[in-house]
Amino acid sequence: MESFSDRLAKAIQLRKNPVVVGLDPRFRQLPEAIQPAEETPESVASAYRKFCCEIIDVVAELVPAVKPQMAFFEALGPAGMAALFDVVAYAREKQLLVVLDGKRNDIGSTATAYADAYLGVGSAWQADALTVSPYLGDDSLTPFVDAACEQAAGIFVLVKTSNPGGKTFQDRESDGQSIYRHVGTLVESLAAETQADCGYGAVGAVVGATYPEQLVELREMMPHTWFLVPGFGAQGGTAESVRSAFDDRGLGAIINSSRAIIFAHARPEYESLAEKSWLAAVEQATRDMVEQLAV
Mean pLDDT of the chain: 96
- The rounded distance, in Å, linking the Cα atoms of 229 and 208 is 5
Q: Assign residue 183 a region (left: φ > 0; alpha: ψ between -120 and 50; beta: otherwise).
A: alpha
Count of other CB atoms within 10 angstroms of residue 23: 28
Considering the candidates 16, 50, 94, 103, report the single residue annotated as catalytic. Answer: 103
H helices of 133-224, in order, are 138-151, 167-170, 179-193, 212-221
Q: What is the predicted pLDDT for the residue at 236?
A: 76
Q: Tell me the residue length of the chain.
A: 295
pLDDT tens, residue by residue, 178-211: 999 999 999 999 999 999 999 999 999 999 988 8
CATH number reported for the structural domain that contains residue 177 in this entry: 3.20.20.70
Q: What is the pLDDT of residues 160-178, one digit of tens each?
A: 998 989 999 999 999 999 9
**Per-residue CA distances from 264 to 141, 274, 276 (Å):** 36, 8, 13
What are the start-end ranges of the E strands in 114-153? 129-132
Rounded alpha-carbon distances, angstroms, from residue 197 to 4, 9, 218, 254: 11, 10, 22, 18
What is the extent of the structural domain holding 126?
4-294
Closest-CA residue to 129 (of 202, 196, 230): 202
Burial class (CB in 10 A: 0-12, 13-18, 19+), 191: buried
Q: Could you confirm whether 103 is annotated as catalytic? A: yes
Mean pLDDT, range 7-32, rounded to an integer? 97
How many independent structural domains does the chain possess? Answer: 1
Phi, psi values for residue 40, rounded to 5°: -100, 160
| Single-letter code of the amino acid located at 200 | Y
- Write the pLDDT tens digit of every residue in 260-280: 999 999 999 999 999 899 999
C-alpha R_g of the chain: 18
d(CA 174, CA 21): 35
Range 253-266 average pLDDT: 96
**Which pLDDT tens digit goes with each residue over 64-117?**
999 999 999 999 999 999 999 999 999 999 999 999 999 999 999 999 999 999
